[in-house]
């Protein structure tokens, strides 16, 4: 391939030049591709016999974006901006032929062409904001000129792509090509030449640049930003498209891009992007280990989690048998699943036909005998060891040889469950998060005996059902909940010392979490933990007092907060304040005003400390794995890169010193800095350097 360079080929089809790039897997716009495009465009411009140009890609997609491995390295000319200048220099019709995903810089190249055609399955979008960036090659100036600032803002700030048909309706593309794309694009180019269609570059269009609707959309968005820089920069750049001349807008866009790309937020988001991919590679798995085939699944228990997990399978087109203990419970579970789907249909998120198809893949039974054809079984019965063991003894007897046997336990010892079977190599944990059909995180718990190919199967399956799988080791609470437990202890301690739930929650949401620990507790229900503590003879002074007063959380309209009927908005509750003050005085604590910075530190640093112990013990393989868990499972603000990344940004010496102070003040030994933190801090290193 490639008579210009190994990645870029230029050929003639009569008077049309076709420039095709082939840079697998996604035709990222790496340096060689940019150089080839610039050179091809120069040749096409200078050859008087050439009447039109088609730009397309081989393989599975049009340019899917910049080569993000080049970020943070010295730029190598030509940059994407120069390629686009080369496009602007061609005074002949240039047609972009789109297939696959024309994303980011790829879509910006297409926007700089005179025309765009696409096959029906193609999608276009500007996802830069998801990496903490904005489209930096003219996207924020050209897209508003093509579809109006309000729509452009929506696409740029969400980062979500649109389908070819919608793009056609919006005027982003000019024609949908059925059949061979390149031939269709060449035909389109010839017609353009023959019909003498006016050649108007997107940059020269002004007719859609109306301010109407933009100001409101921009303001609504800005209100929700909570310190996120990239969407704010997107708003500013699109506003420039309306208020300043094109060249000026481009210059400002470039400035904004430079600021973002060197800033902490984008660094954090790029860290998560790579950490997520890295998490799929588990150390110690022999090269070439293949996943087992999964064509059929079974879920045991049609409760909160079982129903959601069954939906995950159905959504991915995998038939699933769901087993309950009796007809009524089964029906209740299936009704809840159907209700969830109906809600999605009524919101316009799913067609009624698709709902039926998915429901048709879920088969409810009340007899465990019927799981014999399942390639994977996920147990989601009550959190009781004896019950789980009994279920696994039955699974051992009934499941087909080689089936992966998974437990959705949140706290129990996966190795003990595995030992209930004669095939512990096939047993592992799949820890879904609630609601299981929505939450992206999947902790895959690797038991002591879990076979590499069983583990690889669970990871592949996780990805197939749209999850972000992260492999963890066996311990109480695994990674996420084990760290969360530290935060809960500290949150209660803050209340006893002088804070109120609304102050703690405001500090945590101010940090960037969508919800504070107490609103979260109210949502999950406070009575669950209360019952467990009662059973174990333990006491949690404030939360137990709340439960004793009927404060079970949202379900009773009052928990740490009170809730108006039909509302989920947490409101401060004087009765709760009284219960807290009583608890403080019973404990002999003289309450004090706790500064917000201290609240944030005490909500975050103990979790980082636990994360360090988790790394020391090898429960997580990499700090990045922990970061991915917190971003996808617990709403950690992605632009802060996860707890371990954040710790490295702050510097471990600072974290060590603060933890030591809090440990001394509270007398709580678990707050002492973990040896890993002390040791790395002494050497001036961070978690990432391990």
**Residues taking part in catalysis:** 108, 128
DSSP state of 591: P
- Taking the complex as a whole, how short is the minimal distance between the CB of residue 332 and ligand NAD, in angstroms? 8
Greatest extent of the chain over all pairs of C-alpha atoms, in Å: 92
Q: Which stretch binds ligand NAD (CB under 6 A): 88-96, 402-410, 444-452, 486-494?
A: 402-410
Cβ-based nearer residue to ligand NAD, 38 or 378: 378
**Rounded to 5, what percent of the chain is helix, strand, coil?**
55, 10, 35
- State which of residues 65, 132, 306, 611 lies at the interface with ligand NAD (CB under 6 A): 306
* Coil, strand or helix at 17: strand
Cβ-based nearer residue to ligand NAD, 266 or 410: 410
How crowded is residue 330: how many other Cβ atoms within 10 Å of its Cβ?
Answer: 17
- Parallel, antiparallel, or unpaired: how do β-strands 297-300 and 376-379 relate? parallel
* Distances, alpha carbon 27 to alpha carbons 23, 60, 164, 420, 660, in Å: 4, 9, 19, 50, 50
Q: How many helices (H) and strands (E) does the chain have?
A: 28, 17
- Taking the complex as a whole, how short is the minimal distance between the CB of residue 215 and ligand NAD, in angstroms? 42
- Taking the complex as a whole, how short is the minimal distance between the CB of residue 375 and ligand NAD, in angstroms? 19
- State which of residues 324, 443, 497, 610 lies at the interface with ligand NAD (CB under 6 A): 324
Are 145 and 99 in contact by the 8 Å Cβ rule? The answer is: no
Cβ-based nearer residue to ligand NAD, 27 or 488: 488
**CA angle at residue 399 from 397 to 402, to 5 degrees?**
115
- Taking the complex as a whole, how short is the minimal distance between the CB of residue 448 and ligand NAD, in angstroms? 20
Site residues (CB under 6 A) for ligand NAD, limited to 283-302: 300-302
- Taking the complex as a whole, how short is the minimal distance between the CB of residue 622 and ligand NAD, in angstroms? 23
Kindly state whether residue 304 participates in binding ligand NAD, applying the rule CB under 6 A: yes
Query: By C-alpha distance, which of 273, 317, 328, 272 is closest to 295?
Result: 317
- State which of residues 265, 408, 421, 488 lies at the interface with ligand NAD (CB under 6 A): 408
- State which of residues 289, 325, 540, 556 lies at the interface with ligand NAD (CB under 6 A): 325
Cβ-based nearer residue to ligand NAD, 231 or 301: 301
DSSP state of 244: S
Are 139 and 126 in contact by the 8 Å Cβ rule? The answer is: yes
- State which of residues 68, 217, 329, 600 lies at the interface with ligand NAD (CB under 6 A): 329
Cβ-based nearer residue to ligand NAD, 556 or 649: 556
- State which of residues 141, 182, 269, 409 lies at the interface with ligand NAD (CB under 6 A): 409
Total binding residues for ligand NAD by CB under 6 A? Answer: 22
Q: Which residues contact 690 (CB under 8 A, 6 or more apart)?
A: 615, 623, 680
Cβ-based nearer residue to ligand NAD, 81 or 462: 462
Residues β-bridged to residue 322: 299, 364
Q: Chain-centre distance of CA 128, in angstroms?
A: 14
Helix (H) or strand (E) holding 98, with range, is strand 94-98
Site residues (CB under 6 A) for ligand NAD, limited to 418-447: 432, 434
Are 92 and 44 in contact by the 8 Å Cβ rule? The answer is: yes
Q: Which stretch binds ligand NAD (CB under 6 A): 238-246, 303-311, 456-464, 543-551?
A: 303-311
- Taking the complex as a whole, how short is the minimal distance between the CB of residue 336 and ligand NAD, in angstroms? 10
The position carrying tokens 């340096």 is 31
Pairwise CA distance, residues 43 & 267, whole Å: 38
Supply 669's token pair: 């030994």
Kindly state whether residue 275 participates in binding ligand NAD, applying the rule CB under 6 A: no
Q: Which stretch binds ligand NAD (CB under 6 A): 187-195, 288-296, 317-325, 645-653?
A: 317-325
Query: By C-alpha distance, which of 459, 306, 297, 476 is closest to 379?
Result: 306
- Taking the complex as a whole, how short is the minimal distance between the CB of residue 395 and ligand NAD, in angstroms? 10
Q: Which stretch binds ligand NAD (CB under 6 A): 265-273, 408-416, 543-551, 617-625?
A: 408-416
Are 521 and 559 in contact by the 8 Å Cβ rule? The answer is: yes
- Taking the complex as a whole, how short is the minimal distance between the CB of residue 529 and ligand NAD, in angstroms? 12
Cβ-based nearer residue to ligand NAD, 325 or 649: 325
Are 494 and 605 in contact by the 8 Å Cβ rule? The answer is: no
Which residue minimizes CB distance to ligand NAD?
Answer: 303
- State which of residues 29, 126, 250, 305 lies at the interface with ligand NAD (CB under 6 A): 305
Cβ-based nearer residue to ligand NAD, 108 or 324: 324
The position carrying tokens 């009765």 is 575
Cβ-based nearer residue to ligand NAD, 301 or 570: 301
- Taking the complex as a whole, how short is the minimal distance between the CB of residue 430 and ligand NAD, in angstroms? 10
Site residues (CB under 6 A) for ligand NAD, limited to 343-382: 380-382
User: Phi first, then psi: what are they for 434, rounded to 5°?
Assistant: -90, 135
Q: Which stretch binds ligand NAD (CB under 6 A): 62-70, 104-112, 404-412, 417-425?
A: 404-412
Are 242 and 144 in contact by the 8 Å Cβ rule? The answer is: yes
* Distances, alpha carbon 113 to alpha carbons 140, 167, 352, in Å: 15, 15, 39
- Taking the complex as a whole, how short is the minimal distance between the CB of residue 628 and ligand NAD, in angstroms? 17
Helix (H) or strand (E) holding 8, with range, is strand 8-13
Kindly state whether residue 527 participates in binding ligand NAD, applying the rule CB under 6 A: no
Residue ranges that bind ligand NAD, judged by CB under 6 A: 300-306, 323-325, 329, 380-383, 387, 391, 408-410, 432, 434
């Amino acid at each position: 391939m490639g008579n210009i360079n190994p990645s870029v080929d230029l050929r003639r089809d009569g008077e049309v030049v076709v420039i095709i790039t082939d840079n697998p897997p996604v035709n990222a716009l790496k340096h060689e591709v940019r150089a080839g495009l610039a050179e091809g465009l120069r040749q096409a411009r200078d050859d008087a016999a050439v009447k039109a140009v088609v730009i397309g890609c081989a393989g599975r997609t049009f340019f899917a974006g910049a080569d993000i491995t080049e970020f943070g390295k010295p730029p190598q000319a030509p940059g994407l901006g120069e390629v686009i200048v080369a496009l602007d220099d061609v005074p002949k019709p240039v047609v972009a032929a789109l297939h696959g995903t024309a994303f980011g810089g790829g879509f910006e190249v297409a926007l700089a062409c005179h025309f765009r055609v696409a096959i029906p399955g193609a999608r276009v979008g500007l996802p830069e904001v998801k990496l903490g960036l904005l489209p930096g090659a003219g996207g924020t100036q050209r897209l508003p000129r093509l579809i109006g600032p309000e729509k452009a803002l929506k696409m740029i700030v969400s980062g979500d792509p649109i389908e070819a048909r919608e793009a056609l309706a919006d005027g982003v593309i000019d024609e949908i090509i059925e059949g061979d794309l390149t031939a269709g694009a060449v035909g389109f180019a010839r017609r353009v030449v023959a019909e003498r269609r006016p050649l108007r570059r997107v940059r020269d269009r002004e007719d859609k640049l109306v301010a109407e609707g933009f100001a409101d959309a921009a303001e609504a968005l800005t209100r929700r930003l909570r310190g996120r820089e990239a969407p704010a920069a997107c708003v500013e750049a699109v506003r420039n498209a309306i208020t300043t001349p094109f060249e000026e807008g481009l210059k400002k866009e470039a400035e904004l891009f430079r600021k973002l790309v060197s800033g902490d937020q984008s660094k954090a988001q790029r860290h998560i992007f790579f950490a997520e991919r890295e998490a799929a590679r588990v150390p110690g798995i022999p090269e070439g280990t293949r996943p087992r085939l999964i064509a059929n699944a079974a879920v045991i228990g049609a409760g909160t989690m079982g129903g959601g997990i069954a939906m995950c399978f159905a959504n991915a087109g995998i038939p699933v048998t769901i087993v309950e203990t009796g007809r009524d419970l089964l029906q209740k579970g299936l009704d809840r699943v159907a209700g969830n789907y109906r809600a999605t249909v009524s919101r316009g998120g799913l067609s009624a036909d698709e709902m039926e198809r998915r429901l048709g893949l879920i088969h409810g039974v009340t007899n465990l005998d019927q799981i014999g054809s399942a390639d994977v079984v996920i147990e989601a019965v009550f959190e009781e060891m004896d019950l789980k063991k009994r279920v696994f003894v039955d699974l051992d007897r009934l499941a087909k040889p080689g089936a992966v046997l998974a437990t959705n336990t949140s706290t129990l010892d996966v190795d003990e469950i595995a030992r209930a079977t004669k095939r512990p190599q096939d047993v592992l944990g799949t820890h879904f998060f609630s609601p299981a059909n929505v939450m992206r995180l999947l902790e895959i718990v690797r038991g002591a005996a879990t076979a590499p190919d069983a583990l690889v199967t669970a990871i592949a399956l996780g990805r197939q059902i749209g999850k972000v799988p992260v492999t963890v080791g066996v311990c109480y609470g695994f990674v996420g909940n084990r760290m969360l437990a530290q935060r809960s202890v500290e949150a209660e301690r803050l209340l006893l010392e002088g804070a109120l739930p609304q102050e703690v929650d405001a500090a945590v949401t101010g940090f960037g979490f969508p919800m504070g620990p107490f609103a979260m507790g109210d949502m999950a229900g406070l009575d669950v933990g209360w019952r467990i503590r009662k059973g174990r003879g333990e006491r949690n002074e404030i939360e137990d007092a709340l439960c004793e007063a009927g404060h079970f959380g949202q379900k009773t309209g009052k928990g740490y907060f009170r809730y108006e009927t039909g509302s989920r908005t947490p409101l401060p509750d004087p009765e709760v304040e009284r219960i807290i003050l009583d608890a403080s005085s019973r404990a002999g604590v003289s309450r004090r005003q706790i500064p917000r910075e201290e609240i944030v530190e005490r909500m975050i640093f103990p979790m980082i400390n636990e994360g360090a112990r988790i790394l020391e013990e090898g429960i997580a393989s990499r700090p990045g794995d922990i970061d991915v868990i917190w971003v996808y499972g617990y709403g950690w603000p992605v632009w802060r890169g996860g707890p371990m990344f954040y710790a490295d940004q702050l510097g471990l010496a600072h974290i060590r010193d603060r933890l030591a102070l809090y440990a001394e003040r509270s007398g709580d030994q678990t707050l002492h800095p973990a040896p890993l933190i002390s040791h790395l801090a002494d050497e001036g290193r961070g978690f990432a350097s391990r």
